[in-house]
Structures are given as structure tokens and as C-alpha cells.
């Protein structure tokens, strides 16, 4: 078997194993959350017998390990369970499948993440390449200072500053990103402009600085010196010789930041009241809706692991030593 294919298969197996470990950690962590859904619904005046009967109806009376294996087995079959929301002590069940709750919220989050990535990734690559091309110039120092400034502030602070200047003092964009299934495409882009801009300012610095550092690190390589001796210009040296060999670290940092767009978007969604999966998870933790919290956490884990696997694969297939073994 080719070394590249062998390494890719090994990474995929490691990713699946990691996902099972993460699923156990998710379940155990949620089990440790304070409070009880049955008690929260029935109220403090409910008797122990009523609470116990309600817990039995929800399946919460079973041992944790049984519920864990049932949950994993259902997830492998594409069943994320049924939300606790809508259940009442009277026996009336108005709950909905978790997939119906999560799917539209995940679509909104992916839309926001895709819109941010479409802006941030090309911008970061452009800034990283040009700052490496004009290293130690005024342009390089200005871009580094600006990106360090934005990266030093937390997301909610950047969000409130943008709201102040672009929604309050200058009403260009709406301060609340209220969208639904009926919102048209261009109106959706307009309403999510501030959340996307906030995330762009937060993540572009990481990708830009890694791109710049990877290219500058390769400029000291012997083959770069040989390219310069052949008369290649600085632009040709960077674009034709340094950049293709810098894709592995660049792809890794891009994958990390794209994972953050889905996993770490909770704060931004809460600030702008954006109906994404992060906002759904916060609301579900508040209401102790365990199946929804588990589903959201599992989606976050799958996204993070999958993007890191893609980054590993890109790093492997761009490695000349694996592509051309002796």
C-alpha cells in the first residue's frame, strides 16, 4: 500500500477512535450538570413519587452506562433522540425529535461560518503572503499591529464595538441577526454581516500570521537560495517555491479556525441573538434538555475532528517525502 494511503487510513481510524472517546466525555460531562429536568418541570412542590414516575417516563431512571450505550447505538443509526422540551407532567407529549430542532440551527451556523470563511480565508492568505513579500516594511508592521490588536480583544468586545459604530452611531447594519427559513438569501447576508465581520476580525489574525511565519521560515531553505541564484524574483520565490511547501501548516491553522467558526461561535450568536446551534445549546443547558445538549456537543466534536483530519490529510498529501518515497 502506498505510504500516503496508509497514513490517511491510520488518521481516519484514529479520528473514529477519538470520536468514541469524546462521546463518552460528552455524556459524562452532561451527567455531572447540576439540576434535574424532572424536578425543574414539576416544581419544588412535587412529591418524590411524582418526580420518580416522570424520570421513569423519560428513561432517566436507568443506569448511566445503559443510557450511554443506547444513545451511542441510536446515534450510529442516525437517531439523535427526542427533545425533553414539550413534555409535561400531565402526560401530554408535545416534544419534537432532536434532529428537527438541530437541523435548521446547524444550517444557520454553517451559513454564518461559510460566509465568514469566504471573507477571512482569502483575506488572511493575501495578507500573509504580502507581508512575507514585503517583510519588515511599514506595510508589514502595520498589518501585524492591526491583527494583534484585534486578536487581543475577546469576541463579545469586538461585537459590541461593531454594534456601536455600524449599528448604533451609523445605522448601516442591524444589531440583531434575526433570520428564519423564509429570509431571502441577500437579506440573510445583510442581517448576518455584523456577526460575520466579528468572526472575521477574530480569526483572520491567526491565519495571516501562520501563513507569514510558514513562508518566512521556508525562505531560509537551500532550494529557495538556489531559486534566487537562478534569477527568480522575490514574488516568484514566494509564490512558486515557498508557498506550495507551506500548505501543510497553513492548512492546519485554517482547519483550526474553521472549526472555531462552528464550535466557538456561541458567544457571537448570543450577542447578536443569532438562531444558530450555539444559541440552541445555551438555551438547552438552561432548560436541562439533555438530548439536545448531547446532540449539539456531539456535532461540535464531529466538526472539530473532521476538519483536523482534513488538515492532516492535506499535510500528508503535500509532503514530497511521502508522495515520492525512495
Q: How far apart are CA 27 and CA 14, in angstroms?
A: 20
Q: Among 213, 299, 204, which Cα is nearest to 248's?
A: 213
Q: How far apart are CA 201 and CA 119, in angstroms?
A: 10
Q: How far apart are CA 31 and CA 290, in angstroms?
A: 9
Q: Give, as one character, the DSSP assignment of residue 168.
A: I
Which residue in this structure is represented by grid cell 444558530? Answer: 276
100 has a pLDDT exceeding 80: yes
Residue 165, judged by CB atoms within 10 A of its CB (0-12, 13-18, 19+), counts as exposed
Cα four-point dihedral sign 299, 110, 114, 159 = negative
pLDDT above 90 coverage of the chain, percent: 9
pLDDT in tens, 268-283: 888 898 998 888 888 8
Give the residue-averaged pLDDT of 175-180.
85
pLDDT band at residue 214, thresholds of 50, 70 and 90? confident
pLDDT band at residue 89, thresholds of 50, 70 and 90? very low
Q: What is the distance between the terminal CA atoms of the chain, rounded to a whole angstrom?
A: 14
Cα four-point dihedral sign 8, 14, 17, 18 = negative
Q: How far apart are CA 39 and CA 53, in angstroms?
A: 11
pTM confidence score: 0.82
Higher pLDDT, 130 or 231: 130
45 has a pLDDT exceeding 80: no
C-alpha cell recorded at residue 46: 412535587
Higher pLDDT, 254 or 321: 254
pLDDT of residue 90: 46
Element (H, E) at 29: helix 3-31
Cα four-point dihedral sign 56, 61, 62, 68 = positive
pLDDT band at residue 309, thresholds of 50, 70 and 90? confident
- CB-based contact 211:184 (threshold 8 Å): no
pLDDT of residue 177: 85
Q: How far apart are CA 158 and CA 31, in angstroms?
A: 34
pLDDT in tens, 261-270: 877 788 888 8
Q: How far apart are CA 283 and CA 57, in angstroms?
A: 23
Q: How far apart are CA 214 and CA 197, in angstroms?
A: 26
In CATH terms, the fold of domain 99-289 is: MetI-like fold (1.10.3720)
pLDDT band at residue 326, thresholds of 50, 70 and 90? low
pLDDT band at residue 142, thresholds of 50, 70 and 90? very high
List Cβ<8 Å contacts ≥24 apart for 316-319: 316/4, 316/7, 316/8, 316/11, 317/4, 317/8, 318/244, 318/245, 318/247, 318/248, 318/251, 319/248
pLDDT of residue 195: 92
Cα four-point dihedral sign 30, 109, 116, 125 = positive
Amino acid at each position: 500500500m502506498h505510504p500516503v494511503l496508509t497514513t490517511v487510513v491510520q488518521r481516519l481510524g484514529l479520528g473514529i477512535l477519538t470520536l468514541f472517546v469524546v462521546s463518552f466525555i460528552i455524556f459524562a460531562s452532561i451527567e455531572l450538570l447540576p439540576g434535574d429536568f424532572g424536578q425543574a418541570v414539576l416544581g419544588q412542590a412535587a412529591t418524590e413519587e411524582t418526580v420518580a414516575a416522570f424520570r421513569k417516563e423519560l428513561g432517566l431512571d436507568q443506569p448511566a452506562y445503559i443510557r450511554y450505550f443506547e444513545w451511542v447505538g441510536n446515534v450510529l443509526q442516525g437517531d439523535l433522540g427526542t427533545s425533553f422540551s414539550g413534555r409535561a407532567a400531565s402526560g401530554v407529549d408535545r416534544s419534537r425529535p432532536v434532529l428537527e430542532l438541530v437541523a435548521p440551527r446547524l444550517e444557520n451556523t454553517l451559513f454564518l461560518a461559510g460566509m465568514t470563511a469566504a471573507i477571512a480565508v482569502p483575506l488572511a492568505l493575501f495578507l500573509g503572503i504580502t507581508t512575507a513579500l514585503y517583510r519588515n516594511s511599514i506595510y508589514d508592521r502595520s498589518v501585524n499591529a492591526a491583527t494583534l490588536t484585534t486578536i487581543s480583544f475577546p469576541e463579545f468586545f469586538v461585537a459590541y464595538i461593531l454594534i456601536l459604530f455600524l449599528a448604533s452611531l451609523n445605522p448601516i447594519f442591524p444589531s440583531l441577526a434575526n433570520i428564519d427559513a423564509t429570509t431571502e438569501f441577500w437579506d440573510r447576508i445583510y442581517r448576518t454581516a455584523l456577526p460575520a465581520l466579528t468572526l472575521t476580525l477574530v480569526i483572520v489574525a491567526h491565519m495571516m500570521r501562520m501563513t507569514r511565519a510558514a513562508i518566512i521560515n521556508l525562505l531560509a531553505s537551500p532550494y529557495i537560495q538556489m531559486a534566487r541564484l537562478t534569477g527568480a524574483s522575490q514574488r516568484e520565490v514566494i509564490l512558486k517555491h515557498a508557498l506550495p511547501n507551506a500548505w501543510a501548516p497553513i492548512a492546519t491553522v485554517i482547519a483550526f479556525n474553521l472549526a472555531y467558526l462552528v464550535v466557538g461561535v456561541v458567544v457571537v450568536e448570543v450577542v447578536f441573538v443569532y438562531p444558530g446551534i450555539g444559541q440552541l445549546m445555551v438555551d438547552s443547558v438552561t432548560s436541562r434538555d439533555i438530548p439536545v445538549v448531547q446532540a449539539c456537543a456531539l456535532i461540535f466534536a464531529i466538526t472539530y475532528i473532521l476538519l483536523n483530519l482534513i488538515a492532516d490529510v492535506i499535510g500528508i498529501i503535500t509532503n514530497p517525502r511521502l508522495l515520492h518515497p525512495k
